[in-house]
Homo-oligomer: A and B are copies of this chain.
Amino acid sequence: MLLYHHINGALTDTHAAAIGLNDLGLLRGYGIFDFFLVKNKQPLFFQDYMDRFSRSADLLGLELPFSREDTYDHIQELLDANQLNDAAIRLVLTGGYADDSYTPSSPNYIIMQHPMPAVPEAYYTKGIKLMSYPFERELPEIKSTNYLTGIRIRNLLKQAGAPEVLYHNGASISESARSNFFIVTNEGVLVTPEEKILHGITRKQILHLAQDLQIPTETRTLLLSELPKAREAFLTSTTKGVLPVTQIDDITIGNGAPGPISQQLMQAFTDLVHSFIS
């Protein structure tokens, strides 16, 4: 059980850590967040995450009340207080308190620490199934707090035996609820959608690593109709890293097991993370 959070620059005991009822994040879903891992007290890819967090804030017209350096210091303070070296950090910025319940004021800035998230090991060795679902996230380039559809369809996913969803517009694929999506085509090209998605930090690292490994890559429109011929598929996210996908609805991807390029990138990403914390 974690004891402390950070609210508007102050270390706050969990029992006291709360937000007033007229916060626009709560009343109007007007909020953004970001989420990254900390290993040996080092926030991984910190500048990338802060770049995205700032961009999300800008796009909603919210001003960050603390500098990047302050945020770094607050995170260290939090890690010390909670006596954890490895953890996940969530930054949340809301529209602040609104007398009229609608017009943003001074944002509320929250830093929360979570235990390191766990993904079942079998997901990586066997790959997972995705359920396709027709949906496009509102303002997808913003990491907003809006997960209405993703959470609402969780029982459909459970029934389908799919731990995650694959959003599409009937023709092209965008992303999963909390992950980016990649395939390896029959020609061995790594493809991931480029538009109407949240630009994941892990996605960005994977594209760099693929380049280093001389795997041909394309960031472009990815059609649903390309799935049956795909050799491999995987998700990327902060929590999951590279997670192989072996089935989408009734389509088996490749031979139904995690493919060599997925495994190569999984290993390369693990090595990259280790290189930062050693």
Q: A17-B21, A19-B21 are in contact. Are A146 and B138 (CB under 8 A)?
A: yes
**Which secondary structure characterizes the binding site on chain A?**
mixed
Q: Does A175 contact B (CB under 8 A)?
A: no
Q: Is the CB of B60 within 8 A of A28?
A: no
User: From residue 98 to 149 of chain A, which have CB atoms closer than 8 A to chain B?
Assistant: 101-104, 110, 112, 114, 138-139, 142, 144-149
Q: Is the CB of B152 within 8 A of A148?
A: no
Q: Is the CB of A33 within 8 A of B27?
A: yes
Q: Is the CB of B103 within 8 A of A154?
A: yes
Task: Please name all residues of chain B whose beta carbon is closer than 8 Å to the beta carbon of A20 when the two chains form the complex.
Answer: 17-18
Q: Does A258 contact B (CB under 8 A)?
A: no
Q: A5-B21, A19-B18, A102-B147 are in contact. Are A60 and B152 (CB under 8 A)?
A: yes
Q: Does A90 contact B (CB under 8 A)?
A: yes
Partner of A30 from the list B102, B139, B151 (CB cut-off 8 Å) is B151
Report how many copies the assembly holds: 2
30 contacts between A and B (CB under 8 A): A5-B21, A7-B21, A17-B20, A18-B20, A18-B21, A21-B92, A21-B112, A22-B112, A23-B26, A26-B26, A26-B92, A26-B94, A27-B33, A27-B90, A27-B92, A28-B145, A28-B151, A29-B29, A29-B148, A30-B151, A60-B148, A61-B155, A101-B114, A102-B147, A102-B151, A138-B138, A138-B149, A139-B149, A146-B146, A146-B148
Taking the nearest CB of chain B, how far is it from the CB of A57, in angstroms? Answer: 12
Number of interface residues of A (CB under 8 A): 45
Q: Does A31 contact B (CB under 8 A)?
A: yes
Q: Does A241 contact B (CB under 8 A)?
A: no
**A101 vs B88: C-alpha distance when bound (angstroms):** 12
Task: Please name all residues of chain B whose beta carbon is closer than 8 Å to the beta carbon of A146 when the two chains form the complex.
Answer: 28-29, 138, 146, 148
**A155 vs B104: C-alpha distance when bound (angstroms):** 11
